[in-house]
Amino acid sequence: MEIDNHTKPRLVAPMFAVKFFCKALPKHVTLIEVGPRDGFQFEEKIVPTALKLEIIMRLVDAGFEHIQVASFVHPGKVPQMADAEKLLIALAGIPGVSFSALALNMAGVERAISSKLAHIEVSISASNRHSLNNTGMSADAALKMGLKMVALSKRNGMHVRAGIQCAFGSGYGDVISEDRIAAMAKDLVTAGADMLCLADTTGMATPLTIHQLLCSVRPVTGDLPIVLHLHDTRGLGLVNVMTAMSCGISHFDTALAGMGGCPFIQGAAGNIATEDTHYLLSSLDIETGLNLSKIAGCSRDLEFFFGKHFPGKLYRHCA
């Protein structure tokens, strides 16, 4: 893979890095499993609803309290998510777990309301070209609609996570400033979002840009929890986790075995792997409340189902 001038990481001064990584790390980190949504949607082979339910319930048994299980998108564009309503009906009433789904437009929010969903992610892109490819709307139009989506979701009693895609760059060459991301975050928070997610959709984030963007966004989010959704396209996924934790972040999206990727990003790689992230945190004595071997068992069964290896490193070796 060639790395052009838009994706070359800037060098960080060694003393900056030493000072940065000596900051206190959290004692507990919440991992939000997104494999049943972000992971499955990237695969061509359709996962039967029964298998989705089996995997999700095994993830619950492994200790997950937050799982993103579906997206309310056009079934013609993402057929893997065509059973979203059916899946959520089957999961209704299971205690102790927050099942969430993603929506990209008002129609998605309306479907979520009809499904009596309690937790929704309203997700919009900071990149104009990515937004056009992903939703058919410009980034400005998507933001305006996103604010209405947040408001409608809140009026219907849902917990809203507002997601900003391409927060660290789009790969299309358009410049996305930290000020723009901060302004979008402020609008979403003002609209009523309960949580903010910064998504490294293209895997372009570096330790320095993680630090810089969080410094720009934090003043407008206050005490609102921030989630990082990181991809490992350029191999910096777990390094970026370390950086984010040093900045006070304790919520991360992860996917089984490193599954996933955006269908509208050329060369997209998977999310940071749940098992690999768990291992990193465990090596630092950071609690997650999760059972690594049970998670890895799910990944191995999915590897058999899809007939392929995933990019995660540990799932094949955890008995």
Instruction: Give me the half-sphere count of Cα atoms (radius 13 Å) on the Cβ side of residue 23.
Output: 15
Query: Which of the residues 197, 247, 262, 298 is marked catalytic?
Result: 262
Torsion angle defined by CA atoms of residues 201, 32, 79 and 90, in that order, rounded to the nearest 10 degrees: -170
> How many Cβ atoms sit within 10 Å of the Cβ of residue 165?
27
Spatial contact of 196 and 185, defined as CB atoms under 8 Å apart: yes
What is the amino acid identity at position 215?
C
Backbone φ and ψ of 165, nearest 5°: -75, 155
CB atoms within 10 A of CB 105: 22
Report whether 281 contacts 288 (CB < 8 A). Answer: yes
> Is 247 a known active-site residue?
no
Write the CB contacts of 82 (distance below 8 Å, at least 6 apart in sequence): 75
Distance spanning both ends of the chain, measured CA to CA? 34
- CA pair distance 107, 117, nearest whole angstrom: 14
C-alpha–C-alpha distance, residues 185 and 165, integer Å: 11
Q: Tell me the two tokens of residue 46.
A: 């359709």
Q: Which two tokens stand for residue 282?
A: 């465990």
Task: Give SS3 for 299.
Answer: helix
d(CA 208, CA 154): 34
Catalytic (active-site) positions = 262
